[in-house]
Amino acid sequence: MVPTGPVEMWADPPFAATIKGDWMYGRGAGDMKAGVVANLFAMDALRRAGLQPAATVHMETVCEEESTGNGALATLVRGYKADAALISEPSGGKMTRAVMGVQWFQVKVRGHPVHVAQAGTGSNAIQAAMDLVPALRKVEDKWNARRHDTRHYGAHAHPVNMNVGKIAGGDWASSVPAWCTMDCRISIYPGFKPTEMQRDIEDAVRQAASGHPFLSNNPPEVVWNGFFTEGYDLEPGSAAETVLSRCHERIAGRKPVDYIATAYIDSRVFVLYGGMPCLVYGPLCEDAHGFDERVNIPSIRDATKAIALFIAEWCGVEPIEA
Ligand SMILES: [Zn+2]
């Protein structure tokens, strides 16, 4: 689950599902419980109309989309295949055209603990870890500069985000800290291998450490501890996209526009390893992963209608036998 952060920073309790006007507030409300219920509501809507899909529909709700992608991968390994997949992530009624890969890594620094009174004779692991961050920023800069080599990210000002997401170290205020671990996240464009980013990060850490008074003799360790995923571009014009696009148009009155995601989405599993087109299309969410995450309720209704029409057209429908 995506953590809430300090609960007092929320206007309403993060798990109260408070509704104000057209919006429901809560952690996971938009990213992505709303998508899951849109899928369920779509099947419900068909049943209410006395219809059922004339082909098999697998409904998957998986874990780990926020950390590895292994949940979706497990369904593929289990053998679940389809002519097309649809993930109802909160695209805000847009058609997701490109998705980035994400990598997680930890930088582990060991210090030399001494009494603070003799701090000069020790080495502060927290301070040394901080000294490595500018080198990681340079990798981020390098990859942002490469955005013009991609099909869809050239117009985006800063598609690659290196995030120091968590930092832990030391034991108490009166020893020079002996250890520090930084949890980081970076992303990579479609068509590039995570191993290329891995090499850049490891080289940057090695180089920065080699010029550092303490780290040169106490090299930090880089551990790849979660996401290690590729991105992809969705080839336009697949049969599934044509159908979903038409269904969206019936609800919204116009064709869906493209959404270029700077995050990871599980769709890469189906596209890259399952050989099936995967559409990412769903309700409208704001402040995902932030305070006061919210989902637009009318957008859930619209997504439900489009998904129900998509299932009906893609699978065909038949009357439910009494
Ligand atoms: Zn998310």
- 125: part of which helix (H) or strand (E)? helix 125-145
With tokens 């040169």, the residue in question is: 216
Give yes or no: residues 112 and 155 share one domain. Answer: yes
* C-alpha of residue 113 to centroid of ligand 1, in Å: 38
Residue 229 lies in a domain: no
DSSP state of 198: H
- Pair of tokens at residue 315: 């699978």
Give yes or no: residues 35 and 55 share one domain. Answer: yes
* C-alpha of residue 287 to centroid of ligand 1, in Å: 10
* C-alpha of residue 143 to centroid of ligand 1, in Å: 22
pLDDT at 290: 96
Cis-peptide into 32, omega within 30 deg:
yes
CA 291 to each of CA 20, 185, 279: distance values in angstroms, whole numbers, following the listed order: 15, 20, 28
For 30, the domain range is 7-98+234-319
Residue 64 lies in a domain: yes
Residue 228 lies in a domain: no
Residue 32 lies in a domain: yes
Give yes or no: residues 112 and 31 share one domain. Answer: no
**Count of domains observed in the chain:** 2
Residue 182 lies in a domain: yes
Q: Which of 172, 190, 223 is the last residue of a domain?
A: 223
What does the alpha-carbon distance between residue 166 and residue 181 come to, in Å, rounded to a whole number? 8
pLDDT at 76: 96
Give yes or no: residues 136 and 63 share one domain. Answer: no
Of all residues in the chain, what percent are helix, strand and coil, respectively (each to 5)? 35, 20, 40
Give yes or no: residues 286 and 315 share one domain. Answer: yes
* C-alpha of residue 191 to centroid of ligand 1, in Å: 22
Give yes or no: residues 119 and 184 share one domain. Answer: yes
CATH of the domain at 217: 3.30.70.360
Give yes or no: residues 241 and 314 share one domain. Answer: yes
Give yes or no: residues 117 and 213 share one domain. Answer: yes
Q: How crowded is the C-beta side of 143, counted as CA atoms within 13 Å?
A: 27
58-88 tens-digit pLDDT: 999 999 999 999 999 999 999 999 999 999 9
Residue 2 lies in a domain: no
Phi first, then psi: give them for residue 7, nearest 5 degrees.
Answer: -60, -30
* C-alpha of residue 207 to centroid of ligand 1, in Å: 33
Report the DSSP pairing between strands 285-286 and 294-296: antiparallel
17-63 tens-digit pLDDT: 999 999 999 999 999 999 999 999 999 999 999 999 999 999 999 99
* C-alpha of residue 31 to centroid of ligand 1, in Å: 5
CA 261 to each of CA 91, 107, 126, 215, 218: distance values in angstroms, whole numbers, following the listed order: 9, 27, 33, 37, 39
220-257 tens-digit pLDDT: 999 999 999 999 999 999 999 999 999 999 999 999 99
* C-alpha of residue 177 to centroid of ligand 1, in Å: 33
CATH of the domain at 61: 3.40.630.10
Give yes or no: residues 11 and 31 share one domain. Answer: yes
- Amino acid identity of 108? K
Q: Which of 204, 223, 242 is the last residue of a domain?
A: 223
* C-alpha of residue 52 to centroid of ligand 1, in Å: 31
Indicate the pTM of the whole model.
0.92
Residue 1 lies in a domain: no
Give yes or no: residues 194 and 144 share one domain. Answer: yes
Q: Which of 166, 194, 223 is the last residue of a domain?
A: 223
* C-alpha of residue 3 to centroid of ligand 1, in Å: 11
Give yes or no: residues 120 and 199 share one domain. Answer: yes
Q: CA angle, corner 255, sides to 252 and 260, nearest 5?
A: 110
DSSP secondary structure of 239-278 = HHHHHHHHHHHHHHSSPPPEEE-SS--THHIIIIIS-S-E
* C-alpha of residue 303 to centroid of ligand 1, in Å: 18
Is it the case that residue 113 has pLDDT exceeding 80?
no
Beta strands in the chain (DSSP E): 19-20, 23-25, 51-53, 85-87, 95-99, 101-110, 163-169, 179-188, 221-223, 232-233, 258-260, 278-280, 285-286, 294-296, 317-319
* C-alpha of residue 2 to centroid of ligand 1, in Å: 7
List the one residue out of 268, 279, 274 whose CA is nearest residue 82: 274
Give yes or no: residues 30 and 120 share one domain. Answer: no
* C-alpha of residue 263 to centroid of ligand 1, in Å: 8
